[in-house]
Amino acid sequence: MSDETGSCAIYPSLRGRSVFITGGGSGIGESLVRHFCAQGSRVAFVDMAVEPSRQLVAAVAAQGHPEPLFIPCDLRNVEALQAAVEQARDRNGPIQALCNNAGNDDRHQTADVSVAYWDDRMAVNLRHQFFAAQAVRPQMKALGGGSIINFGSITWMVGDPDCPAYVTAKAAVYGMTRALARELGPERIRVNCMVPGWVMT
């Protein structure tokens, strides 16, 4: 198979699988959307960037792949996220794979961080991952299992000096992943943390 994503392997188990991706309109998330659709998965994704996301839907459809469902959503609004999860289930069936990808590594210095900015960074980079996992869990449990992939970052491993709130949030993603893996594992729900390096998007 070859398309704008380049040649890629075929994974038959992904065909028809209901996948939910956060931050799917650009960067790593866009690539996730393109590749899951290329595998024949039923994809729903959320993003704040409306026009690029609509262009992505059109581009995927033009390649002959299943058209993904784009749901505009600000993930800082947990109720909107929960509603998006339900909308995705109604259209694509119970969610079998969750890619908690959305985040923003806005650069900042410690001296400039206010309480409001700190709380916003946690909402943008950490909080929604937990509540997305919470929202899909009943669906996955009913199916007999599923996969949750939380996207972390190498920044906390190397100690990036110019985004301490982001680094803190991404370090917390790793701890959250371990806790959820222990709790959800008996329900055959795998919870893993993907740690990308420096990706130019």
Residue 166 bears catalytic tag: yes
* Helix/strand/coil percent split, the chain, to 5: 50, 15, 30
DSSP strand pairing (42-47 vs 2-3): unpaired
**Active-site residue, from 11, 117, 166, 174:** 166
Q: Determine the Cα angle at 79 with ends 114 and 131, to 5°.
A: 75
Paired tokens of 185: 């594992």
- Phi and psi at residue 123, to the nearest 5°: -65, -40
Give residue 75's region: left, alpha or beta (phi > 0; psi -120 to 50).
alpha
Q: What are the residues whose beta carbons fall under 8 Å from the beta carbon of 147, sequence distance 6 or more?
A: 96, 97, 98, 189, 190, 192
- Terminus-to-terminus CA distance in the chain, angstroms? 24
In Å, how far from its chain's centre is CA 34? 13
**Catalytically annotated residues:** 166
